[in-house]
């Protein structure tokens, strides 16, 4: 049987099938696990992630061999291309790192239960459906599967009033944003008569050429609002600080890392794949969102004393930077800059996920039973107690601030150069100024670690797997800052597959 025949048999959906089967098996296995550390359940979750990664690589190789850069399945509901395969692989990596970083934290608080592992895998399944969605219907189903799992995870600590309040805020605002997105999709469906994104793009192209496209633009406004909420861009950012601070740190890490990849995929599938002929309209909206996000995120973060809340505002600012890449693709109807601009946005979101994993990983490493490392004062004098992890945290803060030679510097530079090439010079200048403002609160953490007296004496206790992974995380950001070409090239190939 040749490769082309195999592809028709729905092979590209193999990772999703494996993940679904693995999540269901995990629910059954966990019924018989009595250990507090959940060794069997935890091991099974990691095996499932490994199998999904191998399946995704196999799908990628078979597609390359059969010369299918883009393949549609299930009557156009599901698409498999280089972008979807790359984002899925980074998602597995993010979820696997989240498991390693959060295990001891959850064990200490009695939260490492089958519910956490199962919800994590089902939320990953929702992300994968979003990443491979080629229909408004499958996009919305993936979004709801991911979101409902995340709402439940925030409320996992039932005895904590703060976590319950954060979950309620997240749920109410998340439902509102899903309604906005669904309403926008219904308007686009009403104008085009199709739910398939690639078919909608063809029909939008014909309608955009006419004078009456008010229904399309009306739907587009609601759709952009829904996407901005899921990304956490201002002024739809109000849930992020409260949820980041209120949720247990391990759950904050879950929300802050992998779902951003799915939200990026949603933005690319809906705006670039589906509504590229309306780029002139949505680019103006994204320009406003980007400017507000960078301003509100960077300025408000300065006033925070809670690190989780500070990193929440930092996330808002970073999503503003990522939107800079997305809005720089089409210049006066010219698509020459598109692949470069969208690939810089993809590079930025991948680097952002690595930075977020490391930053929250350090907080989880420093937390222990009865102690939450979540205030700035908790990092005082870290260099005296653990010089290596003070260095790791410094690399992460430098990368988040966009200082050389880290990956964060190259990611910001690439996005800014795309904006300048697209003629958005004023926006690039504003981004640089606001980035300098933002550098203050990152460097403040470095100052606390290296120049202040520690609150406690003695070395920092921790587990060896966390030590190794945190070290590799910081090293990856340094390597990607010095040698970013390979990842950048992969991002370019992934965007070209669209």
> What are the residues whose beta carbons fall under 8 Å from the beta carbon of 17, sequence distance 6 or more?
none
E-state strands within 55-168? 70-73, 78-81
Type and span of the H or E element at 471:
helix 464-482
Of 441, 435, 491, nearest in space to 318 by CA: 435
Q: Calculate what percentage of the chain has a pLDDT beyond 70.
A: 98
Tokens 């050389």 sit on residue = 404
Residue 110's pLDDT band (cuts 50, 70, 90) = confident
Render pLDDT for 175-186 as a digit per residue (tens, 0 to 9). Answer: 999 999 999 999
pLDDT at 208: 78
pLDDT at 178: 93
Residue 8's pLDDT band (cuts 50, 70, 90) = low
Q: Quick one: average pLDDT of 195-212? A: 85
Overall size of the chain counted in residues = 498
- Cβ contact 118:25 at 8 Å: no
Q: Quick one: average pLDDT of 307-324? A: 94
Of 225, 89, 77, nearest in space to 142 by CA: 77
Q: Does 1 have pLDDT greater than 80?
A: no
pLDDT at 33: 83
- The mean predicted confidence, pLDDT, of the chain is 90
pLDDT at 38: 83
Q: Does 6 have pLDDT greater than 50?
A: no
Render pLDDT for 383-423 as a digit per residue (tens, 0 to 9). Answer: 988 899 999 999 999 999 999 899 999 999 999 999 999 88
- Cβ contact 498:268 at 8 Å: yes
Nearest-angstrom CA–CA distance, 200 and 192 = 6
In this structure, the strands spanning 70-73 and 78-81 are: antiparallel
Of 26-35, 244-253, 411-420, least confident by mean pLDDT is 26-35
Of 296, 228, 210, nearest in space to 267 by CA: 228
Take residue 279 and report the two structure tokens written for it: 């780029």
pLDDT at 25: 94
What are 317-320's contacts with CB under 8 Å, separation 24+? 317/293, 317/434, 317/438, 318/348, 318/352, 318/400, 319/231, 319/232, 319/233, 319/260, 319/293, 320/233, 320/234, 320/289, 320/290, 320/291, 320/292, 320/293, 320/294, 320/295, 320/431
Of 30-39, 353-362, 401-410, 464-473, least confident by mean pLDDT is 30-39
Question: Global pTM?
Answer: 0.94
Render pLDDT for 132-148 as a digit per residue (tens, 0 to 9). Answer: 999 999 999 999 999 99
pLDDT at 197: 92
Render pLDDT for 51-104 as a digit per residue (tens, 0 to 9). Answer: 999 999 999 998 888 777 788 888 889 999 999 999 999 999 999 999 999 999
Q: Does 127 have pLDDT greater than 90?
A: yes
Take residue 103 and report the two structure tokens written for it: 């295990």
């Amino acid at each position: 049987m040749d490769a082309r025949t195999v592809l028709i048999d729905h092979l590209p959906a193999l990772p999703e099938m494996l993940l679904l089967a693995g999540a269901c098996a995990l629910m059954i296995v966990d019924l018989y696990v009595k250990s507090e550390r959940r060794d069997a359940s935890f091991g099974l979750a990691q095996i499932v992630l490994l199998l999904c990664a191998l399946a995704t690589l196999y799908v990628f190789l078979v597609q390359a061999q059969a010369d299918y850069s883009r393949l549609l399945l299930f009557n156009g509901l599901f698409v498999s291309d280089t972008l979807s395969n790359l984002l899925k692989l980074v998602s597995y990596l993010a979820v696997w790192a989240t498991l390693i970083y959060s295990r001891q934290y959850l064990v200490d608080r009695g939260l490492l239960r089958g519910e956490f592992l199962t919800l994590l895998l089902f939320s990953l399944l929702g992300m994968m459906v979003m990443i491979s969605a080629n229909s408004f219907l499958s996009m919305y189903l993936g979004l709801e599967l991911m979101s409902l799992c995340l709402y439940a995870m925030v409320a996992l600590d039932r005895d904590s009033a703060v976590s319950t309040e954060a979950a309620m805020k997240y749920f109410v605002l998340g439902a509102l944003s899903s309604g906005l997105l669904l309403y926008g999709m219904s308007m686009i469906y009403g104008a085009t008569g199709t739910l398939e994104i690639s078919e909608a793009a063809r029909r939008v192209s014909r309608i955009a050429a006419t004078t009456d496209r008010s229904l399309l633009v009306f739907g587009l406004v609601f759709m952009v609002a829904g996407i901005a909420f899921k990304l956490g861009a201002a002024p739809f950012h109000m849930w992020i600080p409260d949820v980041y601070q209120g949720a247990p740190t391990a759950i904050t890490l879950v929300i802050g890392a992998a779902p951003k990849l799915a939200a990026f995929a949603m933005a690319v599938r809906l705006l670039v794949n589906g509504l590229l002929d309306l780029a002139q309209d949505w680019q103006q909206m994204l320009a406003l969102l980007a400017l507000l996000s960078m301003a509100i995120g960077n300025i408000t973060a300065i006033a925070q004393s809670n690190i989780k809340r500070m990193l929440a505002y930092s996330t808002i600012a970073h999503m503003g930077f990522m939107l800079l890449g997305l809005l720089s693709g089409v210049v006066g109807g010219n698509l020459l800059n598109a692949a470069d601009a969208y690939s810089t946005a993809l590079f930025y979101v991948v680097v952002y996920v690595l930075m977020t994993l490391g930053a929250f990983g350090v907080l989880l490493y420093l937390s222990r039973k009865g102690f939450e490392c979540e205030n700035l004062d908790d990092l005082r004098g870290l260099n005296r107690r653990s010089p290596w992890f003070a260095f790791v945290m410094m690399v992460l803060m430098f990368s988040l601030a966009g200082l050389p030679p880290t990956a964060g510097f190259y990611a910001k530079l690439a996005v800014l150069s795309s904006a300048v090439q697209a003629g958005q010079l004023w926006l690039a200048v504003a981004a640089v100024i606001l980035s300098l403002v933002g550098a203050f609160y990152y460097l403040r953490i470095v100052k606390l670690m290296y120049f202040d007296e520690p609150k406690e004496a003695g070395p920092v206790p921790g587990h060896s797997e966390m030590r190794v992974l945190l070290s590799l995380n910081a090293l990856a950001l340094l390597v990607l800052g010095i040698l970013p070409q390979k990842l950048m090239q992969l991002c370019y190939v992934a965007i070209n597959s669209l």
